[in-house]
Amino acid sequence: MNQIDNYIQSFLNGSLGAEGYTVLRQWIKEKPENRYYFQAQVAIWKATGVISNAEEFDVTGAINRFNKKAKQVNRIDFYRCTLRFSVVAIILLICGISSLFFLWQSEGRVSEVVEEYREYVVEVPDGAKSKITFPDGSIVWLNAGSKVKYDSNFAKASRKVELTGEGYFEVSKNKELPFVVSTGKLSVKVLGTKFNLKSYEEDSELKVTLKEGAVKVGDFLIDAAPVELKPNQRFTLRKADLSMQVDSVDASHIDNWRNGAMTFDKVPLEEIAKELKRLYNIPIRIESDKLKQIVYYSDFQENVSVEKVLEILSSGNKFRYEIKSEEIRIFN
């Protein structure tokens, strides 16, 4: 155990002196990782019942017990049936993490004020969709294989969420608190609008399509001018070379996927296969690099079967396919 862990133990059992407090406080301020680590130790201390004996405080063991307890108790899985899909699994992962503020008193004692912090994760598996309403009334529809994360400060100090996958957002207006969706690559900042954001990790492109209102797309952690979109505009980021493009589209249909419809506008078969895999929850293997590059312009109505989709895409002898219970094979 290093010296910082010793200082943390001493703080928790009330024996930390002035010199140690100064060192610990400076270490916490140095970088966010240190602050998060300290907050986690306090949460672990509370959760595992360690109160006063610093010698018996096993940080590694406590972390393991805390993580095990959080997984067993704080994860809620629930399912609902739909016409198209049999299961929607929404996982709410709630972790109680303490935010700590210190007051140094004249007699050299440290007191703490603890604020409860919770993180919510909603995850939708392949073959399903779900609708989420945020505390401010904003709504997101999550497509198959998507995940959204936000915390208990939402609509209080900020309106920030993280998205992996695809979501159609209808954002309530609030000029004081912009709504920010982060993807890991870029962020979308809005005051009140309707837009679709598609950012699956396995996809080659990230796309933002605006239906109503206005949005700004960019990396707001650096000093760079964001791209401002108007209705019926689509922003595309190519992950391979980080090139960006804005083009005009008909955005009236961007949320049709909520009802099971699909629109492919100049989309290669390789990307379509990823979409079908998420939608129908079945792996698709394309056995030819040449087939992967075939580009399609296609529209499919609601609740069409995967067999019908493949029948249409393969028309004109473009490719052959075989559907098995464990996967779909596409070949010449």
For the stretch 22-46, pLDDT in tens is 788 888 888 878 887 777 777 666 5
Phi, psi of 229 (to 5 degrees): -105, 150
Q: Report the helix count and the strand count for the chain, using DSSP H and E.
A: 7, 22
pLDDT beneath 50: ranges in the chain: 49-57, 59, 62-63, 65-115
pLDDT for res 178:
94
pLDDT for res 133:
94
Give the list of residues 6+ apart from residue 142 with CB closer than 8 angstroms, or none: 122, 124, 129, 130, 131, 132, 148, 165, 166, 167
Structure tokens at 35: 């602050």
pLDDT for res 80:
33
d(CA 280, CA 160): 30
pLDDT for res 31:
82
**Any idea what DSSP says for residue 86?**
S
| Cα dihedral value 256, 187, 190, 133, nearest 10 | 60
Q: Are 147 and 167 in contact (CB under 8 A)?
A: no
The residue behind tokens 């690099």 is 289
pLDDT for res 119:
87
d(CA 205, CA 281): 21
Percent of the chain that is helix, strand, coil (3-state, to 5): 25, 35, 35
Structure tokens at 285: 């293997």
Which pTM was predicted? Answer: 0.65
Structure tokens at 3: 């010296």
pLDDT for res 34:
81
- Cα–Cα distances (Å) from 299 to 31, 40, 98, 219, 261, in that order, read 50, 49, 49, 33, 8
For the stretch 267-326, pLDDT in tens is 999 999 999 999 999 999 999 999 999 999 989 988 899 999 999 999 987 899 999 989
pLDDT for res 292:
95
